A and B are shown apart, each in its own frame.
Chain A
Amino acid sequence: MSQTIEIGKLTDIPKLGSRVVKTNQGDIAIFRTAEDEVFAMHDKCPHKQGALSQGIVHNNTVTCPLHNWVIGLDDGEAKGHDKGCVKTFEAKLEGGNVILVLDK
């Protein structure tokens, strides 16, 4: 079973930025790209749990603030030679509202 939650407006998230949603599954970072796409994943870098929501967002990736791993926003995979993956969630836009889909 999945649960669909409206968490706010697209404009609540800065372009090329991120906001955190607190859930019972832990903090989830919601990203907004330059093209106004939204992505969601655990706010925990696969390396040493850095807060990805605090990273710099560029071309569908985010750079972790702690040790500069670059994580793909769509698949949660570490890029380049780093290896690791963070759990992603479905996020989408409905008329300017951001919808997050959580597994129950």
Chain B
Amino acid sequence: MKEKLVVIGNGMAGMRTVEELLKIAPDKYDITVFGAEPYGNYNRIMLSPVLTGEKTIEQIMINDLDWYKDNNITLHAGIDKKVVKIDRRNRIVFAEDGTEESYTRLLLATGSNPFIIPLPGHELNGVIAFRDISDVDLMLDAAKNKTHAVVIGGGLLGLEAANGLMLQGMDVTIIHNLDVLMNRQLDGPSAKLLQTELESRGLKFKMSANTTKITSDNEGNVAGIAFDDGVELKADIVVMAVGIRPNIDLAKSAGIHSERGIVVNDTMQTFDPRVYAIGECVQHRGELFGLVAPIWDQAKVCSNHLAGYGIANYRSVATATKLKVTGCDLFSAGDFEGDEDTDDIVFQDPKRGVYKKIVIREDKIIGAVLYGDTVDGSWYFSMMKDGVNVKDIRNTLLFGQVHLGDSGHGEANAAANLPDSAEVCGCNGVCKGDIVKAINEENLYTLEEVRAVTKASASCGSCTGLVEQILVATAGGDYNPTETEKPLCACTTSSHDNVRDAITSQKLKSFSEVSEYLDFMKSEGCHVCRPAINYYLLAAWPGEYEDDMRSRFTNERMHANIQKDNTYTVVPRMLGGMTTPEDLRVIADTADKYEVPMVKVTGGQRIDLVGVSKDNLIPMWKDLTDAGMVSGHAYGKSLRTVKTCIGSQFCRFGTQDSTGLGVRIEEMTWASWTPAKFKIAVSGCPRNCAEATIKDFGVVAVDSGWELYVAGNGGMKVRVSDFLVKVTTDDEAMEYVGAFMQIYREKGHHNERTAPWIERVGLTYIKQEIVEDADKRKAFYDRFIESQKYAQVDPWKKRVEGFDKQSFIPMAEV
């Protein structure tokens, strides 16, 4: 017999948990849900756009009644279905109308209640909260035939309510007890800008106000509101939006330990281990919740335990807020006030209505407030959560990611104003309209979901900021900020770093050992974790771990790039971009012999034979390797090319022999596997014809030696490299190349090029490890050379000799 799960509360937290549970353990429970609201489950966040008229109730339903049927969930929904009693001894819950259900496990998701200030008059007709559909109905009704609205509370909810009522034609005054609006999210200057903007739209404010009572007419309806300074305002309705209180009465009456909220541990269990609790009704390590981002995390953890996997732990992370008032761009996260130990970096342009403040402690961002231009909000936020050291970029921090060389969509911040036909994701050809449609029709909340459904920002990611903005503009809050220590993929909760640490500390030597040790949910992994872990194992155990061809992406398995018609390309290595007439003849003959449809000089200074059928790969490689050429690894997460310019051998400006050093470097580094592709260039003078300053490792000659640069990137996000150090001899340059490649090999995440990697770990860290500490540098270099002993085998030759022959020929012809 199936176990029985009863959920009390048909809101966002409860149903999200059920959805997650159905994904991972669809058959474990008979599920019954009690909800005190007479609907399916809807997106509470979107009540604001319903109030403004931008959305209808139907549009904000997450799961309609059919969903419950389709998933065999019994739903008891309605005002009289409110659960009033839990009998924990016999494990039965009772609803107001007498409905009872027994449970093996119980989930409390009762949300919270709006706080109503007990002012004289608070029970009059027309005093409304802003929490559920019935509140919105009351407000919309009032807007039809009444004029004056007063909103008590100048926080997020109050402003959204006021804005909605104003758009419905009412005359609205906001009462706030302080002189700073949204004081939990904004500081003085940004709040002032917001107030000015809202005033210009027609909202009125009474700040630093002390309400004394709500006055009434003869029929028990609200008539006005009075203040201690003698002022009286007319009011047909009064909306109270002054905060929420966790809904814990039921839990308390059942003897479940509660303080401000129902107390839960890291696995979302209450003091009664059969009873779980989640959402706004809980208190976790002293903290209460009022936004959905942390609640989604809780739902993941809770469903994992309900499913019996028992491996996830909830840890609260910082959240960020945005205001859902169209046209008010505002972003706030973390500690934006600071104290004596923090520095504020502030940018203010009142005329453009732009204000930015970043609070920094010990070179790390601990909070941010942005007004008017919030494009970089998610960037600051992710650096804040990852604890990124921002010392090196402090001088340009406020100008945003564009200034770090993001050639993406930096300036296009007015996502809301883009036409539906505007292309947002260039890689996958996704327009704004497609994204908006998907968000609305498929009820998407998170960036990950939008990626999965629309493919927008799923490839290069440079449009991520824009997609996030569209998500916020369409669906409301930024509810799924990227998590710190993100899981490597959906097969596991472990992050890249967890996996790497486990491999080295536990001496794990195969994928199955890793997946067993870290309790992967899917034992065979997937196309994301298998290649990553294969690389980590290869990097950790050189010479010992055997490369698993089945965990290699086809290009790396076939040692050739797959093309759109399933043909491949053949790119022989040309060390340092140098070739000879003999080599060129061999290439030309090979191209002739196999009728190669396209011969092309690549951007990496060598020749690409394009459009080769799989059957021809081995014969072509044979001809090329017989003539002494080796694979160019144009296909791999490995060293690609070492580009050079002419240099002092011939060039009239050349100060050093760039071709000579380039060839030496490529001889040392070819065939090395790296987390993502790795490109090097050497220029013979500061004119820099080899474009060395946008390479992963760049070498630029000066009169007295070589300047070394790291972490440059051409391609999608251009990033000019950082100066690392200046050296005088070729040998020193070689040692730095090896050391830098090795530290990247050991610390970089799979698929993370040096540019994002260095922005994550900081240049200072690299300098500490390989510049300031000569012994460490030497040790990194030695480890690189050691692993190259096993790596520098020409894969083409190996296959010509018969290795993995099966992959290249059909199994049968029938």
Contact = CB atoms under 8 A, between A and B. Distances in A.
B812 A7 contact: yes
Q: Kindly name the residue among B452, B525, B807 whose own CB sees the greatest number of chain A CB atoms within 10 A.
A: B807
Interface stretch (B546-554, B588-596, B742-750): B546-554
Contacts of A100: 814
B811 A54 contact: no
Interface string B448-471: 000011000000000000000000
B522 A30 contact: no
A56 B566 contact: no
Interface stretch (B258-266, B526-534, B690-698): B526-534
Nearest to B804: A14
A48 B428 CA distance: 13
A70 to B, nearest CB: 8
Contacts of A21: 810-814
A73 interface: no
B562 interface: yes
A80 B812 contact: no
A23 interface: yes
B109 interface: no
B524 interface: yes
A65 B553 contact: yes
Contacts of B527: 55-56, 58, 63, 68, 70
B352 interface: no
Given A17-B550, A22-B814, A59 B524 contact: yes
A81 B453 contact: yes
Interface string B779-814: 000000000000000000000000000110011111
Nearest to A54: B554
Contacts of A57: 550
Contacts of A12: 806, 811
Interface in B556-612: 557-558, 562, 564-566
A8 interface: yes
A59 B814 contact: no
Contacts of A51: 554, 562, 566
Contacts of B524: 16, 34, 58-59
Interface in A63-78: 63, 65-66, 68, 70
A35 to B, nearest CB: 10
B531 A19 contact: no
Given A21-B811, A68-B527, A55 B554 contact: yes
A93 interface: no
A92 interface: no
B526 A19 contact: no
Nearest to B568: A54
B452 A56 contact: no
A22 B813 contact: yes
A41 to B, nearest CB: 14
A85 interface: no
Nearest to A65: B554
A59 B550 contact: no
Interface in A14-64: 14-17, 19-24, 27, 30, 34, 48-51, 54-59, 63
Nearest to B566: A51
Nearest to A22: B813
Contacts of A49: 565-566
Given A51-B566, A65-B562, A14 B814 contact: no
A22 B550 contact: no
B223 to A, nearest CB: 54
Q: Kindly name the residue among A48, A68, A102 whose own CB sees the greatest number of chain B CB atoms within 10 A.
A: A68
A21 B811 CA distance: 5
B2 to A, nearest CB: 25
A80 B549 CA distance: 26
Contact of B810 (A14, A19, A54, A68): A19
A65 B553 CA distance: 7
B554 A14 contact: no
Q: Is the interface of B mostly helix, strand, loop or mixed?
A: mixed
Interface residues of B, number: 31
B386 to A, nearest CB: 26
Contacts of B811: 7-8, 12-13, 19-21, 30
A50 B90 CA distance: 58
B104 to A, nearest CB: 29
Contacts of B523: 34, 59
A56 B814 contact: no
A5 B813 CA distance: 11
A80 B552 CA distance: 22
B551 to A, nearest CB: 7
Contacts of B530: 56, 58
Contacts of A20: 810-811
Given A19-B806, A48-B564, A63-B527, A56 B550 contact: yes
Nearest to A33: B524
Nearest to A44: B566
Contacts of A81: 442, 452-453
Contacts of B810: 19-22, 27
Contacts of B814: 5, 7, 21-24, 100, 102
B321 to A, nearest CB: 29
A49 B526 CA distance: 21
A90 to B, nearest CB: 14
A100 to B, nearest CB: 8
Nearest to B442: A81
A72 to B, nearest CB: 13
A86 to B, nearest CB: 14
Contacts of A80: 452
Nearest to B522: A59
Nearest to B551: A56
Contacts of A54: 554, 557-558, 562, 566
Given A56-B527, A65-B562, A16 B812 contact: no
Contacts of B558: 54
Q: Kindly name the residue among A14, A24, A48, A54 whose own CB sees the greatest number of chain B CB atoms within 10 A.
A: A54
B526 A63 contact: yes
Nearest to A62: B527
A16 B550 contact: yes
Q: Kindly name the residue among A15, A16, A27, A100 whose own CB sees the greatest number of chain B CB atoms within 10 A.
A: A16
A22 B812 contact: yes
A81 B553 CA distance: 22
Contacts of B553: 56, 65
Contacts of B531: 56
Contacts of B812: 5, 7-8, 21-22
B467 to A, nearest CB: 15
Contact of A14 (B453, B555, B806): B806
Given A8-B811, A22-B814, A63-B527, A50 B549 contact: no
A50 B562 CA distance: 9
A36 B554 CA distance: 21
Nearest to A51: B566
Nearest to B567: A51
10 contacts: A7-B812, A7-B814, A23-B813, A49-B565, A50-B562, A56-B530, A56-B550, A58-B522, A59-B526, A66-B564
Given A34-B524, A68-B527, 20 more contacts: A7-B814, A8-B811, A12-B811, A14-B549, A17-B549, A17-B550, A21-B813, A22-B812, A23-B813, A30-B811, A34-B523, A49-B565, A49-B566, A54-B557, A55-B554, A58-B522, A58-B530, A65-B553, A65-B555, A70-B527
3 A-B pairs with the lowest CB-CB distances in the bound complex, closest first = A19-B811, A63-B527, A54-B554
Interface of A: 5, 7-8, 12-17, 19-24, 27, 30, 34, 48-51, 54-59, 63, 65-66, 68, 70, 80-81, 100, 102
